[in-house]
A and B are shown apart, each in its own frame.
Chain A
Amino acid sequence: MSPDVWSSPAAALAGVWVAAGLTLMAFTYLVGDNPLYRIVEHLLIGIAAAYGLVVAVQEVLLPHVVAPLGSGAGYALLPGLALGLFLLTPGSARHRSWGTLAVAFLVGTTAGLGLSGALSGTLVPQTLAAAGLLRTEVIGGAGLLSGLVAVVGTVLTLLYFHLGERPSLGPWALPSWLWVGLRGSGYLLLMATLGGLFAATAGSRFALLVARLDFLLSQWLHLI
């Protein structure tokens, strides 16, 4: 079938109707689990798996493995290809241990890249940035205040997780009311943070709902 067929107005119209139908079928889950929702669920999983396979073959295996090997210039790929084939060996009781080698290589590489990336991309830059927050000549008074609020907030939140006895310095014990107040402040900060994260997630999901409704109203029903 020629690609023009898929880009024709009739195909676009059919696509809109199919998408609208599937959207409404997915919404039927609101009144409970039902066959219509199950059909959509199975379609989504099946299409996603098939799409992933096609992309892996088309975007990775064919251009990066088959084509170089076919042209005779891909001998450097052979170790990687062998490791990839080793991943298929768990199906064989005799060669199962070969797969361990490939998995070990994958885990080791991922851990190494992750560790070096976390150090150079997060830990060091963030530490330097946090140190810079306390320099008023760089960021001004508002930045300094922001940094202090961050430090105090962090300490108070950590205090909430202190489950041991009230701290004391020799004979001077922290007053009970102060200790309860500090831990209570940490609890409030924690709840405020979780509330903020929840609000962001809820806003994100609302946006999805709005986008679906927008699709139904504008592209399907042409009401707006």
Chain B
Amino acid sequence: MSRPSRQEPSANPLLGGLQDALPLEPSLELPRLLPTPLGERENGYLAPPYEEHAARSAPTPARSAWRRLGYLLAYLLVLVVALSGYFVRSGESVPPSSDLVRFTTFLQSLPGGTPVLVAVEYGLAGAGEIDPLLSRVLDHLALRSAGLLTVSTQPQGIGVAERMTTGYPAPVESLGLLPGEAAGARLSALHGPPVGALLIVTDNPHAFQVWVEQAVGRLGVPAAAVLSLGLRPQARAYEQSGQLRAVVAGLGAAAQYESLLGRPGVGRRGLDSLLALSGLLIGAILAGNVAELLHRRRAKHES
């Protein structure tokens, strides 16, 4: 067997014979500085657009100042719109949606005596949206004197569950952290204590899927979900198939729940701001599209 021949020294002794040793990033960012399979002629074709683009995208001091000013104005506008909901409040109660009616009916129909298994699968990033809603759900469960069993497959869920159930008037027991995601959820379904219902509380699409797939059918008890608004479309299919009895999501549902229970809180206070911000977003999208349309028309006219 012949031994591999020694690498010939190259112009760059450090990288001699080591093809593809460099990371991909420089070849993407600096296409003209690295040798490529293209010939000089093809490189020449690429050069003008690249240089034009670099020259166009390099901010001049005046343009940079205008851009900063634009960003500052945009931030101020968002802040003013967000705060407007707090100081120009409609003051009316929010009527419950059909989702909330289904959810409250579900909680009312829970059998007494058996605790509710609450899978808390969200962290600080989702707290702003889910905390107000979960607080009202726990208020409702407390009115029913339902015991709670909290569990999570994420470390952060343990802390959130403890924070949210502090002061809950009925018995609360923590099953702790169940590591292994799918394995943890299935373990709690197959070998956990008997429960009367399952409540999935999450802003994480993967965790939501895991609990629905691993626990809902195996527990054999009715299940419902308290979700972030972004997860609502994903939950609709499971709701329509009957795997989830009811689903509530977002700050709007929290505001409706607060009106229903007569306990105003963050949801009601923030709903007007949320609506104002949504209106601002719609306005920005429309303005951006109109500007793009005008720009295209002008470019077409000039060409």
Contacts and interface: CB of A to CB of B under 8 A. Distances in A.
Contacts, number: 139
A212 B278 CA distance: 17
A197 to B, nearest CB: 7
A34 interface: no
Interface in B105-142: 125, 127-129, 131-132
Contact of B86 (A113, A117, A217): A217
A18 to B, nearest CB: 14
A199 B156 CA distance: 27
A117 B213 contact: yes
Nearest to A44: B124
Interface stretch (B30-38, B41-49, B239-247): B239-247
A126 B159 CA distance: 34
Contacts of B232: 200
A206 interface: yes
A208 B129 contact: yes
A30 to B, nearest CB: 5
Contacts of A192: none
Interface stretch (B94-102, B268-276, B292-300): B268-276
A46 interface: no
Nearest to B212: A121
Main SS at interface, chain A:
helix
Contacts of A114: 182
Contacts of A200: 229-230, 232-233
Contact of B213 (A120, A201, A210, A224): A120
B183 A109 contact: yes
B158 interface: yes
A23 B132 CA distance: 19
B201 interface: no
Contacts of A59: 155, 158, 176-177
Main SS at interface, chain B:
helix
A113 B182 contact: yes
Nearest to B174: A59
B273 to A, nearest CB: 5
Contacts of B240: 129, 133
B177 A55 contact: yes
A48 B123 CA distance: 10
Interface in A174-206: 196-197, 199-204, 206
A211 B266 contact: yes
Given A56-B177, A203-B229, A51 B156 contact: yes
B216 interface: yes
B202 interface: no
Given A207-B250, A210-B251, A113 B183 contact: yes
A207 B213 contact: no
A54 to B, nearest CB: 8
Contacts of B159: 51, 55
Contacts of B129: 204, 207-208, 211
Given A117-B182, A121-B214, A202-B278, 4 more contacts: A59-B155, A118-B213, A203-B250, A208-B129
Which 3 pairs across A and B sit closest by C-beta, in order of nearness?
A211-B128, A121-B213, A129-B241
22 contacts: A48-B156, A55-B155, A56-B177, A109-B183, A113-B183, A117-B210, A117-B213, A121-B213, A121-B243, A125-B243, A126-B241, A133-B240, A199-B281, A202-B281, A207-B250, A207-B270, A211-B251, A211-B270, A213-B270, A214-B86, A217-B86, A224-B86
Interface of B: 71-72, 75, 78, 82-83, 85-86, 125, 127-129, 131-132, 155-156, 158-159, 176-177, 179-183, 186, 203, 209-210, 212-214, 216-217, 228-230, 232-233, 237-238, 240-243, 250-251, 266, 269-270, 273-274, 277-278, 281
Interface of A: 30-31, 48, 51-52, 55-56, 59-60, 63, 109-110, 113-114, 117-118, 120-122, 125-126, 128-129, 133, 196-197, 199-204, 206-214, 217-218, 224
